[in-house]
A = this chain, B = another copy of it.
Amino acid sequence: MVPEMTDCVSNNPLSAQDSVLLENQVCFPLYSASNAVIRTYRPLLDKLDLTYSQYLVMMVLWESDGVSVKDVGARLYLDSGTLTPLLKRLEGKGLVERGRSEQDERVRVLKLTEAGVLLKTQALTVPAEMKCKIKLDLDELLLLKKLCEKVISTLEK
């Protein structure tokens, strides 16, 4: 057993047996909350004919149109295996054009269509509707955000 692991184990106040009780997991609530949030977004995003992942990609493009697949992936922590088919669906809906960079032929340059730009208008009410459903104080929301970001920055290294 590596030293760091031993340290971690020794700091764990739970017995080994109790450690695999669902009740004592932190990651399970995180996973369930994420699932629950995506489920809750669904009826809101159905009006825009977007899935949650597609909505995330659209947010990136509304913010910085003309970026590459890699850029979107870096922003959303998703790889081309996830993004390529997703972007093809957005292209199929007429929201995005998947062009090529002139400097580097390998790079896909993602450009919003007029419909893609216009969809932002319909999306503006979504965050407020979601905030309404989730019923957490602003303090709690910001704290949750900060803790999740800390988890991400630790694990993404």
- Residues facing B in A83-98 (CB within 8 A) are none
- Residues facing B in A118-157 (CB within 8 A) are 120, 123-136, 138, 140-145, 147-152, 154-156
Instruction: Please judge, given known A-B contacts A135-B154, A143-B147, whether A59 and B21 are in contact too, CB under 8 Å.
Output: yes
Asked if A29 is at the interface (CB within 8 A of a chain B CB), the reply is yes
- Interface pair A145/B26, CB less than 8 Å apart: yes
| 0/1 interface trace, chain A 9-39, chain B, CB 8 Å (1 if under) | 1011110110111101111111111111111
Task: Determine how close the nearest CB of chain B comes to the CB of A38; give it in whole angstroms.
Answer: 7
Contact of A4 among B24, B132, B148 (CB under 8 A): B132
- Interface pair B22/A56, CB less than 8 Å apart: yes
In the complex formed, the residue of B with least CB distance to A127 is: B19
- Interface pair A27/B130, CB less than 8 Å apart: yes
